[in-house]
């Protein structure tokens, strides 16, 4: 059963049958914005405006970013985190970008994986419709565990969406929702570290 998370809320990444999850997928989805444009003869037509959002994962250990997974580097150095590819428009149904995390392979030196989203095209989040992030159990037919709605959150171009943190008993997912500005994952490193 999926949980709709609010900013700051956390869930334990454990299976309902007991034991920890081994692989999770973070899915980011959004819709293209429909804007009205005036036609040549005074008419109005609806036009879809493509918006390029980019999901990234920053692997943090000892208070520093140790690795970044994004559209330009699709796999972490320890092969535990993999980006499935860049969506330049937001067109289509379902998750537009996904990041897979094999929790069993995350290096012991990594304490947190911080997930960010930025608008590479420079559009702000008040222009983006139906944006969300969700975490699913990818080993169990993509069963949705939790969802966090990102839409309509303001004039910023980036967000720290969520983080997965190592705990004494396994892993925990926390919805963050901290706004910021930046066009790339590297621009968001200070914001991501501030969200720990």
Q: Which of 11-15, 73-77, 135-139 has the highest mean pLDDT?
A: 73-77
- The mean per-residue pLDDT over the stretch 103-116 comes to 94
Is it the case that residue 86 has pLDDT exceeding 70?
Answer: no
State the CATH class of domain 3-33+47-194.
mainly beta
Per-residue pLDDT band at 90 (split at 50, 70, 90): very low
What pLDDT, on a 0 to 100 scale, did the predictor assign at position 93? 60
Mean pLDDT of 141-164: 82
Provide the pLDDT for residue 36: 67
Where exactly are the structural domains of the chain? 3-33+47-194
How confident is the model at residue 29, as a pLDDT? Answer: 84
Tell me the average pLDDT across 46-64: 85
Residue 30, pLDDT score: 79
Written in H, E and C, the secondary structure of the chain is CCEECCCCCEEECECCCCCECCEEEEEEEEECEEEEEECCCCCEEEEEECCCEEEEEEEEECCEEEEEEECCECECCCCCEEECCCCCCCCCCCCCEEEEEECCCCCCCCCEEEEEEEECCCCCHHHCEEEEEEEEECCCCCEEEEEEECCCCCCCCEEEEEEEEEECCEEEEEEEEEEECCCCCHHHHHHHHHCC
Query: What integer pLDDT is reported at residue 74 of this predicted model?
Result: 94
């Amino acid at each position: 059963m999926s949980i709709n998370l609010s900013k700051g809320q956390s869930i334990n990444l454990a299976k309902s049958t007991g034991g920890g999850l081994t692989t999770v997928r973070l899915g980011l989805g959004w819709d293209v914005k429909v804007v009205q444009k005036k036609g040549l003869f005074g008419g109005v037509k609806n036009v879809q405006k493509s918006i390029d959002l980019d999901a990234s994962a920053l692997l943090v250990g000892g208070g520093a970013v140790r690795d970044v997974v994004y559209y330009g580097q699709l796999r972490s150095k320890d092969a535990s985190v993999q980006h499935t590819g860049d969506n330049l428009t937001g067109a289509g149904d379902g998750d537009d970008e996904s990041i897979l995390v094999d929790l069993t392979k995350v290096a012991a030196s990594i304490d947190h994986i911080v997930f960010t989203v930025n608008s590479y095209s420079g559009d702000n989040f008040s222009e983006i419709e139906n944006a969300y992030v969700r975490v699913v159990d990818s080993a169990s037919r993509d069963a949705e565990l939790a969802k966090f709605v990102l839409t309509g959150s303001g004039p910023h171009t980036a967000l720290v969406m969520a983080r997965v943190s190592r705990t004494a008993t396994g892993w925990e997912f926390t919805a963050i929702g901290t706004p910021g500005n930046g066009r790339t994952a590297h621009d968001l490193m200070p914001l991501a570290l501030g969200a720990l």
